[in-house]
């Protein structure tokens, strides 16, 4: 406790040091910046470091003095505390990491001053944070939904909040790069944090440099009240889980008496969901640094005869969709010089599930990226247009040879910026050479690849996972139920027998004595 | 570093100019007026301080060649806006009629006395969001002159300014009847305005330290009035066709013609 207080006072001393004149701090700020920041943000702060060309969203161009995450009004410069906050915690969903664990308070303070020196807008201007009250009591999410409708937030963010609004395909940032309307159901990726307070502040300040406007004028113009805007923040927060999902390596396939045959079957409501995060495929060329799909939710059930997987993933587009041509045009422009031309034609959406061909061989899994010629993988390859699933073999990413026929069946649906897909296959495949048998009681390795055709993701461009596994519950043998019952009956019976015998013996022993009396 | 220093000096100079313009200007009661020409001219700067005169530079913007077709707008997602257009709307990038070009911003680029300072007119310039288009599309303001942004559509618009020399803004106007006022503090030709809900909505505002500007109307005509006698560089700006300049010397009470000719982009 005393130690903590000591460090807190040290930190306070640190912030006192920060108040020292700007010039004195810049040498250290420059040293920190050149070492840790310039790789992406560029030596002159123009956001053009060597790392920038593979990033979307791109690193901040500090020379413009335009910042997304602020506590100041639309168009204003941020406060020092605003910049410090982002340096400290990073920006979720982007390449910007947190620096609190690497840089000292003093170093962060110095680098904040140095970053400000890149733009003339900070000279002689004091940034003033807007005054933000506190969230009204109660949950208010229902009322928030109404105001969300009234303010037409859905125009960009979509009715379900998944960033699939009508205007979403045309959105661009100040540099002309394509920019996504935030997926409000994954608010753990909100750049400025996802507490109700943080969401409310973004609604008031807007995100400068992006299409997200400030709604302060809607309050000042008496279109809505401040409380109603708070309710919107509460509603938006309610669209995401309390805590960000955590990846678990093994997906459990519980045993069901009958397998669901539809996406809406009640059985899915009671089936555990597993979150499988995906990242851009940046190993095989052409690499892809800006994938749309960042995760797949997986549910699994089996009935001893077949395995059913229900997958769902957020994707604002049902590709191909002409409304997204403009988006793809911007995407091609933004990402083309990384690994050659990005397609100018949209393709279908894809999801590929890859399996180890020898799931029982636990010594070595095939290469996670599509296997290899030496150790191919067994693959289910689903496309949205036409909606179909192929079974086949892959000998490296993109080297796919389909089987002549597929035993995997598919049912797919796209709604409100989300795909849902049901895939089913018998546990024992007819093709015993190429398709593995799914056996119960084992973790069967599987991995995922997703591609959004409207985002230029064809060929090996897309998002990938590492190896995960599905574990098919072992059927409960009859003896599991019978044995305890038999034991109970037996022990009860034996006990009774013992008691009866003992009583009889006692009676026999007593009788002569009585007769004697 | 030297660049940063230089920029600072420039910015400080601009601030000084703005600040002084206000105080110095109040003494001038002549009420200079620089009219914009033509129907698409937008609101004129009505009063300003600083040296003015009675010279006029006017002219016509000619257009040769073939204007590319204006892009069609799919307004199906906004029936309230679509209903305001009797014919299928297009984005008016090229306003061409009878060989004349509208929506060209014409202004005095240089030639005013170095110490001339003009305070912003009291009246605001209006820009309206109407039928999911900006009206006017091209207009000018004096530094620090109010811009009144109005929404006449019962739909959500955001209006975003993307300047380089000024601070931008991005505000929402979720329904009809909303009004907001904004200003720009530094000269900049042109500041783009855009709506991100409706990607086809674009406007440009020229921010000048004086009131000598005009926007060509549908008949291609423009007129810059109340100029003091002098030799000026006049620049004409078009959103797609770039800029042209010419020097004009005008004496007191004179009207000089400065026609410009823009050619359609080569196929």
Which residue in the set A65, A208, A221 is minimally distant from B170, CB to CB? A208
Contacts of A111 (CB under 8 A, 6+ apart): A29, A32, A33, A36, A37, A87, A103
Task: Assign B44 to helix, strand or coil.
Answer: coil
Residues of chain B with pLDDT under 50: 1-48
Distance between CA atoms of residues B157 and B123, nearest Å: 24
Whether the predicted pLDDT of A151 surpasses 80: yes
Which residue in the set A118, A124, A155 is minimally distant from B156, CB to CB? A155
pLDDT of residue A109: 97
Which residue in the set B158, B164, B174 is minimally distant from A211, CB to CB? B158
Whether B7 sits inside 8 A of A120 (CB atoms) is yes
In chain B, the residue whose alpha carbon lies closest to the alpha carbon of A210 is: B170
Confidence of residue A511 (pLDDT cuts 50, 70, 90): low
Contacts of A155 in chain B (CB under 8 A): 156, 197
- Cα R_g (chain B), whole angstroms: 19
Contacts of A120 in chain B (CB under 8 A): 4, 7-8, 10-11
Q: Identify whether B108 is preceded by a cis peptide bond (ω within 30 of 0).
A: no
Q: Can you tell me the mean pLDDT for A297-325?
A: 97
Q: Are A341 and A461 in contact (CB under 8 A)?
A: no
Q: Are A425 and A410 in contact (CB under 8 A)?
A: no
Q: Do the bridges between strand A468-472 and strand A250-255 make them parallel or antiparallel, or are there none, so unpaired?
A: parallel
B173 touches chain A (CB under 8 A): yes
pLDDT of residue A19: 46
pLDDT of residue B41: 36
Distance to chain B for A26, nearest Cα, Å: 12
Whether the predicted pLDDT of A25 surpasses 80: no
Which backbone phi and psi does A454 adopt, to 5 degrees? Answer: -80, -10
Distance between CA atoms of residues A88 and B155, nearest Å: 39
Cβ-Cβ contacts under 8 Å between A and B: the total is 97
Distance to chain A for B155, nearest Cα, Å: 8
Whether B178 sits inside 8 A of A124 (CB atoms) is no
In chain A, the residue whose alpha carbon lies closest to the alpha carbon of B179 is: A221
Per-residue model confidence as pLDDT tens digits over A194-208: 999 999 999 999 999
What residues of chain B, 9 to 38, have a C-beta less than 8 Å from chain A? 10-12, 15
Instruction: Please state, in angstroms and as integers, the Cα–Cα distance from residue A305 to each residue in A192, A289, A300, A436, A439, following that order.
Output: 48, 40, 13, 14, 10
Positions of E strands within A214-349: 250-255, 274-277, 279-280, 295-302, 306-314
Distance of CA A173 to the CA centre of its chain: 23
Contacts of A167 in chain B (CB under 8 A): 77, 196-199
Whether A156 sits inside 8 A of B196 (CB atoms) is yes
Helix A196-205 / helix A226-238 crossing angle, nearest 10 deg: 130
How many helices (H) and strands (E) are present in chain A, helices listed first?
A: 12, 14
Q: Most A CBs within 10 Å: which of B77, B160, B182, B191, as the mutation test of the A interface?
A: B160
Whether B197 sits inside 8 A of A215 (CB atoms) is no
Q: Can you tell me the mean pLDDT for A259-278?
A: 97
Helix A80-89 / helix A105-116 crossing angle, nearest 10 deg: 120
Contacts of A33 (CB under 8 A, 6+ apart): A41, A111, A114, A115
ipTM of the complex: 0.82
Confidence of residue A253 (pLDDT cuts 50, 70, 90): very high
B246 touches chain A (CB under 8 A): no
B154 touches chain A (CB under 8 A): no
What single DSSP character describes residue A25? H
Distance to chain A for B69, nearest Cα, Å: 18
Which residue in the set A75, A124, A216 is minimally distant from B168, CB to CB? A75
Instruction: Please state, in angstroms and as integers, the Cα–Cα distance from residue A3 to each residue in A10, A17, A101, following that order.
Output: 10, 21, 19
Token pair listed for A132: 């933000």
pLDDT of residue B104: 98
Distance to chain B for A155, nearest Cα, Å: 7
Which residue in the set B15, B172, B198 is minimally distant from A213, CB to CB? B172
Whether B155 sits inside 8 A of A326 (CB atoms) is no
Which residue in the set A124, A150, A166 is minimally distant from B77, CB to CB? A166
Whether A74 sits inside 8 A of B170 (CB atoms) is yes
Distance to chain B for A420, nearest Cα, Å: 26
Whether B4 sits inside 8 A of A118 (CB atoms) is yes
Contacts of B12 in chain A (CB under 8 A): 123-124
Task: Assign A184 to helix, strand or coil.
Answer: helix
Q: Does residue A424 or residue A513 have the better pLDDT? A: A424
Distance between CA atoms of residues A83 and A67, nearest Å: 9
Token pair listed for A504: 């009889």
Whether B172 sits inside 8 A of A155 (CB atoms) is no
Whether the predicted pLDDT of A14 surpasses 50: no
Whether A174 sits inside 8 A of B180 (CB atoms) is no
Tokens 């509208």 found at: B102
Per-residue model confidence as pLDDT tens digits over A275-310: 999 999 999 999 999 999 999 999 999 999 999 999
pLDDT of residue A432: 86
In chain B, the residue whose alpha carbon lies closest to the alpha carbon of A175 is: B162
Tokens 């100018």 found at: A344
Q: Most A CBs within 10 Å: which of B3, B18, B171, as the mutation test of the A interface?
A: B171
pLDDT of residue A26: 63
Task: Assign A500 to helix, strand or coil.
Answer: helix
Whether the predicted pLDDT of A178 surpasses 70: yes
In sequence order, the β-bridge partners of residue B208 are B142
In chain B, the residue whose alpha carbon lies closest to the alpha carbon of A77 is: B167
Half-sphere exposure of A217 (CA within 13 A, CB side): 24
User: In A, what residues contact B, Cβ < 8 A?
Assistant: 64-66, 74-77, 117-118, 120-121, 123-124, 150-152, 155-156, 166-167, 170-172, 174, 206, 208, 210-218, 221, 223, 326
Contacts of B267 (CB under 8 A, 6+ apart): B66
Q: Does residue A27 or residue A446 have the better pLDDT? A: A446
Which residue in the set B155, B172, B199 is minimally distant from A218, CB to CB? B172
Distance to chain A for B167, nearest Cα, Å: 6
Which residue in the set B167, B170, B175 is minimally distant from A214, CB to CB? B170
Per-residue model confidence as pLDDT tens digits over A327-381: 999 999 998 878 888 999 999 999 999 999 888 776 789 999 999 999 999 999 9
Which residue in the set A66, A156, A167 is minimally distant from B168, CB to CB? A66
Q: Does residue B102 or residue A139 have the better pLDDT? A: B102
Whether the predicted pLDDT of A4 surpasses 50: no
CA nearest neighbour of B149 among B33, B19, B42, B15? B42
In chain A, the residue whose alpha carbon lies closest to the alpha carbon of B199 is: A170
pLDDT of residue A363: 75
Contacts of B19 in chain A (CB under 8 A): none
Whether B172 sits inside 8 A of A123 (CB atoms) is no
Contacts of A117 (CB under 8 A, 6+ apart): A22, A26, A29, B4
Distance between CA atoms of residues B220 and A365, nearest Å: 73
């Amino acid at each position: 406790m005393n130690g903590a207080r000591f460090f807190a006072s040290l930190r306070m001393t640190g912030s006192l040091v920060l108040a020292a004149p700007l010039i004195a701090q810049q040498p250290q700020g420059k040293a920190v910046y050149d070492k840790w920041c310039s790789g992406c943000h560029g030596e002159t702060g123009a956001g053009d470091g060597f790392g920038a060309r593979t990033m979307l969203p791109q690193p901040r161009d500090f020379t413009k003095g335009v910042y997304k995450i602020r506590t100041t009004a639309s168009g204003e410069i941020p406060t020092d505390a605003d910049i410090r906050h982002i340096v400290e915690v990073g920006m979720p969903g982007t390449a910007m990491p947190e620096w609190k664990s690497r840089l000292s308070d003093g170093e962060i303070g110095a680098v904040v001053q140095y970053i400000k020196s890149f733009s003339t807008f900070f000279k002689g201007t004091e940034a003033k944070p807007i005054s933000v009250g506190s969230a009204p009591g109660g949950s208010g999410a229902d009322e928030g939904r109404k105001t969300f409708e009234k303010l037409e937030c859905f125009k960009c963010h979509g009715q379900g909040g998944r960033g699939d609004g009508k205007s979403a395909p045309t959105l661009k940032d100040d540099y002309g790069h394509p920019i996504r309307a935030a997926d409000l159901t994954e608010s753990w990726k909100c750049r400025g944090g996802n507490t109700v307070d943080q969401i409310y502040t973004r609604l008031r300040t807007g995100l400068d440099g992006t299409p997200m406007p400030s709604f302060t004028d809607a309050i000042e113009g008496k279109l809505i009240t401040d409380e109603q805007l708070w309710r919107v923040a509460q509603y938006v927060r309610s669209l995401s889980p309390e805590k960000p999902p955590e990846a678990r390596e093994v997906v459990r396939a519980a045993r069901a008496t009958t397998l669901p045959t539809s996406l809406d079957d009640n059985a899915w409501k009671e089936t555990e969901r597993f979150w499988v995060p995906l990242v851009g495929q940046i190993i095989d060329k052409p690499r892809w640094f800006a994938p749309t799909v960042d995760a797949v939710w997986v549910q699994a059930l089996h009935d001893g005869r077949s395995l059913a997987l229900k997958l769902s993933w957020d994707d604002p587009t049902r590709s191909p969709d002409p409304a997204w041509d403009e988006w793809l045009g911007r995407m091609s422009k933004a990402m083309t010089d990384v690994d050659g031309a990005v397609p100018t034609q949209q393709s279908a959406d894809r999801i590929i599930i890859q399996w180890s061909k020898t799931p029982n061989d636990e010594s070595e899994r095939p290469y996670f990226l599509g296997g290899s010629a030496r150790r191919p993988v067994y693959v289910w390859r689903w496309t949205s247009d036409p909606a179909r699933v192929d079974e086949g073999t892959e000998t490296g990413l993109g080297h796919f040879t389909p089987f002549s026929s597929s035993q995997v069946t598919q049912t797919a649906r796209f709604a409100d910026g989300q795909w849902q897909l049901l895939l089913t296959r018998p546990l024992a495949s007819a093709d015993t050479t190429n398709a593995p048998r799914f056996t119960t009681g084992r973790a069967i390795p599987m991995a995922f690849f997703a591609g959004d055709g409207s985002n230029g993701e064809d060929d090996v461009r897309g998002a990938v996972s590492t190896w995960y596994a599905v574990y098919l519950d072992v059927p409960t043998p009859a003896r599991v139920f019978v044995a305890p019952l038999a034991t109970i009956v037996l022990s009860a019976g034996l006990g009774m027998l013992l008691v009866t015998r003992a009583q009889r013996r006692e009676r026999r022993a007593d009788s002569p004595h009585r007769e004697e009396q | 570093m030297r660049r940063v220093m230089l920029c600072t000096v420039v910015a400080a100079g601009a601030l000084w100019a703005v600040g002084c313009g206000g105080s110095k200007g109040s003494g001038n009661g002549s009420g200079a007026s620089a009219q914009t020409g033509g129907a698409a001219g937008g609101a004129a700067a009505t009063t300003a301080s600083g040296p003015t005169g009675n010279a006029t530079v006017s002219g016509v913007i000619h257009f040769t060649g073939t204007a590319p077709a204006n892009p069609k707008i799919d307004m199906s997602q906004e029936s309230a806006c679509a209903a305001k257009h009797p014919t299928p709307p297009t984005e008016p990038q090229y306003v061409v009629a009878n060989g004349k070009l509208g929506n060209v911003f014409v202004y005095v680029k240089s030639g005013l006395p170095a110490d001339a300072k003009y305070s912003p007119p009291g009246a605001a310039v209006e820009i309206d969001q109407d039928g999911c288009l900006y009206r006017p599309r091209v207009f000018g303001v004096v530094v620090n002159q109010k811009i009144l942004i109005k929404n006449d559509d019962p739909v959500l618009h955001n209006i975003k300014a993307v300047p380089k020399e000024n601070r931008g803004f991005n505000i929402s106007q979720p329904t009809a009847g909303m009004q907001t006022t904004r200003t720009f503090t530094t000269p900049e030709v042109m500041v783009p305005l855009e709506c991100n809900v409706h990607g086809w909505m674009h406007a440009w505002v020229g921010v000048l330290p004086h009131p000598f500007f005009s926007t060509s109307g549908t008949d291609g005509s423009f007129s810059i009035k109340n100029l003091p006698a002098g030799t000026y560089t006049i620049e004409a700006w078009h959103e797609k066709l770039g800029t042209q300049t010419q020097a004009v010397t005008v004496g007191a009470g004179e009207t000089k013609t400065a026609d410009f000719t823009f050619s359609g982009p080569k196929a």
